[in-house]
A and B are shown apart, each in its own frame.
Chain A
Amino acid sequence: MAKKLPKTDIVLAGVGWTGGIIAAELTKKGYKVVGLERGKERKTEDYLMVHDELRYQQRNEMMQDLSKETLTVRHDRSKRALPYRQHGSFLIGDGVGGSGEHWNGLTYRFFPYDFEIYSKTVERYGKDKIPADMPLQDWGITYNELVPYFEKFEAMAGISGETNPHPEVPEVKYPTVPLKETPSMKMFKEASKKLGYHPYIAPAATLSESYTNPDGISRAACQYCGFCERFGCEYGAKASPVVTVLPVAKETGNFEVRTHCVVRKVLHTNGKATGVLYVDTRTGEEYIQEADVVVVSAYALNNIRILLNSQLGSPYNPESGTGVIGKNYAYQMTSAASTGFFKEKEFNLYAGTGSLAGVIDDFNGDNFDHTDLNFIHGGNIALGHYGKRPISNNSVPKGTPTWGKEFKDESIYWTNRSLSVGSQGSVMPNKENYIDLDPTYKDQFGDPLLRMTFNYKDNERNQQKYIRDITTKILEEMGADIINSPGDQEDWDTTKYQTTHNTGGVIMGADSKTSALNNYLQMWDCENVFVPGASAFPHNSGMNPTGTVGALAYRAAEGIEKYLKNGGSLV
């Protein structure tokens, strides 16, 4: 029998970026918050030996232990799904701070277009532009309504950046100056300007200068150490929950984090949650933590899983298109990247930070005319300077063998002479891309694993073709001697890292029939459950999600307070 614990105001399932933001905001207001985190405690000292590519990048030191819990994957629903036995395509965080500890820190705002994508597409191109199998929808909130929350997130993290010069993109004033510009970024900017595009330096959560945020948290400037994404920052220069929101919550005395505690279910009766059931994995004991509000903040994929295993909300059915939990799962596409080889120039590519990049948004969102194009949306195009480490970077011109003497000598020769112009392609929802529970495979407690049914559809394949020609063109303009351009978009490969930008599955919207959450991320079906995270996105945009995830988490925090004061559905 699970042991019942005294009731608290708010319980969090997962203590990463979204859980941390909600903990800080509500403990400041005097509410008691209990954070349940399946992984371990984290502090900056843990990162003293962090410049270790093998341990952190190849062996995924900071990621979820897949022997305890994973998911199964397949390309379409006619097939059997097979377990994601080893990390590949995306990485799932684990431990206090979650993926917020080892992210890159590229911090964008989605475009006004994104939040009203359905209406704006119909308005500009007519209803026929949207394929029948694409359940595109507005988000139930506008960009302008979200601006104050974006500002809160950016001020808390100290985002360094310059405003995007593209005429279609709203101006943003960032709290700190942009990061330093490398020679390769200069080349990218000059080339794309010549081609008529609008380059700028990416907004970054790795600080360009020392900074004190509105909560009084001071952090040092980034050292461009080159071990950033997939690694923790030994300097606290990268904004992460452990160096920003969690200390604020702890200082109030109203926050308790219980580590090594896995939430299995949200408990509920008659459309109201009573608390959560969790296991302390050190003792093996089961507990029930009762609470007035349950926040499911376990990362997009785990959020879906907790809800499905709790039988909360109606599961999506791809046959009929009804139900909402698991609906509109989307991902991103990085296969439009081209690599350029420069004989005459050696760059200091070992240096860099996780979010150092020159970017253009000329082919992102609806910033370009799609009338004659066979796809919706697009992707940003960027040259990143993230720090090239030797095991994982061995670019060679096409036609070079993949091992042996020629490979060795060529990969060494080009190490500091090759640059990649990449793209982060949006993915639109499709009726056939969704998530449900796997009928066969189980986790350490015998609970069903998630089953992901996903592949790139025509919209994405057409977009990739279009964008890869532009990444190639930019490298030509930059003067590359040899260019490796990609072929067509292939089927989704679960073994190659693409992005950890999994979205959808518990989406927000204005209508309870087609969405799971209202615009405070409050469940339509269960008014005291809030589900922050990218699971709330009805589609995935062509840039990194966490700026938008953070803004929505601040919005949810406001909603939770309103709910605790007045009760009921907030919309």
Chain B
Amino acid sequence: MSEQEKNAPYLDKRSSRRTFIKNSGLTVGGVVLGGALGSLLGKDSTTQTHETGVHSTATAVNFNQALMYFDKAQFDTIDAAAEQIFPKSEVGPGAKELLVTYYIDHQLAGSWGLNSKEYMSAPFYPAEASSLFGHQTHLNRQQIFNLGIEALNSEAAKQYKAKFSEITEEEQVSILQAFEEGEVTLNGAVTSTYFFALLKSATIEGAYADPLYGGNKDMAGWKMKNFPGHQMSYANIIEKDEFVKIEPTSLNSQHKH
């Protein structure tokens, strides 16, 4: 049982991951199927996971906090914009504290930023594309973010003679609203509405995705929402009338098994 599982008082100890696995027979005509369960079972149950002190959050250096895609100025622009979309409040941390912009940077650097599992063949007919048909532009998300960031800063310069990250929160919000409404022209084959929608969905993802992606720092996004993250079973909870609050665990705990 992992530390996280041990600390979970709601867990019926008999249904710990390993005992559960031992009791469940996934078999074909009596032969145990080599499944996820089988491979876990194969592990020597006396193997110890060595816990070291590096997980203490107070002193930890987060090696995720470095840039794969943005430059420093782009990072600052998105950091300010994401904070307006998902701000710090009495309920808990906002985008900045959750490291949402590192999440967005890391996502942009990979297949999401390059639209690599999407159909990107020509011809494109952006003018004919109602939003009901999804994106119809040759630009990938890296390029759309570049254009969007440029436009956020040029709007800020035009209206307030400063960079987007340096104007007041109210000024940032009013620029973002104009983006959402499609009132700003991006110098490319994409609307400001589309860029805003991308930024907004990426911000929400960065707040709530497993911390393995670089955001949702210390699972603080999940804690605000009372979301328990990765758990093996809710069989003992599913029928319960009262709300059961569970300390979240991340996929990191699963990987250590």
Where chain A touches its partner, the secondary structure class is: loop
CB proximity of B152 to chain A, nearest CB, Å: 15
Nearest A residue to B205 via CB reads A391
Pick the contact of A412 from B25, B91, B229, B255 — CB < 8 Å?
Answer: B91
**Closest CB in chain A relative to B176 CB, distance in Å:** 8
Inter-subunit contact B84/A404 (CB<8 Å)? yes
Instruction: Determine whether A481 belongs to the interface, using a CB cutoff of 8 Å to chain B.
Output: no
* Contact bitstring B22-36, A, C-beta under 8 A = 1, else 0: 011111111001111
Which bracket fits the contact residues of B? Answer: 35 or more
Per-residue contact bits, chain A 459-489, to B (CB 8 Å; 1 contact, 0 not): 0000000000000000000000000000000
- Is A182 engaged at the interface, CB distance under 8 Å to the other chain? yes
Q: Mark B1-39, 1 if CB is under 8 A from A, else 0.
A: 000000000000000000010011111111001111111
B209 within 8 A of A: yes
Q: A390 CA to B86 CA in the complex, in Å?
A: 14
Q: Which residues of A contact B239 (CB under 8 A)?
A: 180-183
Given contacts A391-B205, A405-B87, contact A352 B238 (CB under 8 A): yes
**A442 in the interface, Cβ–Cβ < 8 Å?**
yes
Cβ–Cβ contact B123 & A408, under 8 A: no
Q: Which chain A residues lie closer than 8 Å to B116 at the CB level?
A: 67
CB distance from B231 to the nearest CB of A (A): 7
Count A/B pairs, Cβ under 8 Å.
230
A102 at the interface (CB under 8 A from B): no
B244 adjacent to A49 (CB under 8 Å): no
Q: Does A563 contact B (CB under 8 A)?
A: no
A49-B251, A67-B118, A409-B91 are contacts. A234–B36 as well, Cβ < 8 Å?
yes
Interface flag for B224 (CB, 8 Å): yes
Smallest Cβ distance from B201 to chain A, in angstroms? Answer: 8
A224 touches B227 (CB 8 A): no
The residues of B that contact A49 with a CB separation of less than 8 Å are 251, 254-255
Within 8 A of A (CB), among B78-94: 84-87, 89-92, 94
With A236-B35, A346-B243, A390-B225 known as contacts, the answer to whether A224 contacts B235 (CB < 8 A) is yes
Contacts A348-B240, A403-B85, A415-B225 hold; do A53 and B24 have CB atoms under 8 A apart? no
The reply to whether B238 and A58 contact each other, CB–CB distance below 8 Å, is no
Q: A51-B254, A82-B129, A394-B204 are in contact. Are A65 and B117 (CB under 8 A)?
A: yes
Which of A66, A222, A243 lies in contact with B33, CB distance below 8 A? A243
* A130 interface hit (Cβ, 8 Å): no
State how many residues of chain A have any CB contact under 8 Å with chain B: 83
B36 contacts A351, C-beta separation under 8 Å = no
- Whether A389 sits at the interface, judged by CB under 8 Å, is yes
Residues in A with CB closer than 8 Å to B212 are 52
Inter-chain contact B244/A247, CB cutoff 8 Å: no
Q: Judging by beta carbons under 8 Å apart, are A54 and B37 in contact?
A: no
18 contacts between A and B (CB under 8 A): A45-B34, A51-B210, A53-B210, A79-B128, A83-B136, A215-B29, A218-B26, A220-B23, A224-B235, A224-B237, A225-B232, A234-B37, A346-B243, A348-B238, A390-B222, A493-B132, A494-B133, A495-B131
Identify the A interface with B (CB < 8 A): 43-49, 51-54, 58-60, 65-67, 70, 73-75, 79-80, 82-86, 88, 180-183, 210, 215-226, 234-236, 243, 247-248, 251, 346-348, 350-352, 356, 385, 389-391, 394, 402-405, 408-409, 412-413, 415-416, 440-442, 491-495
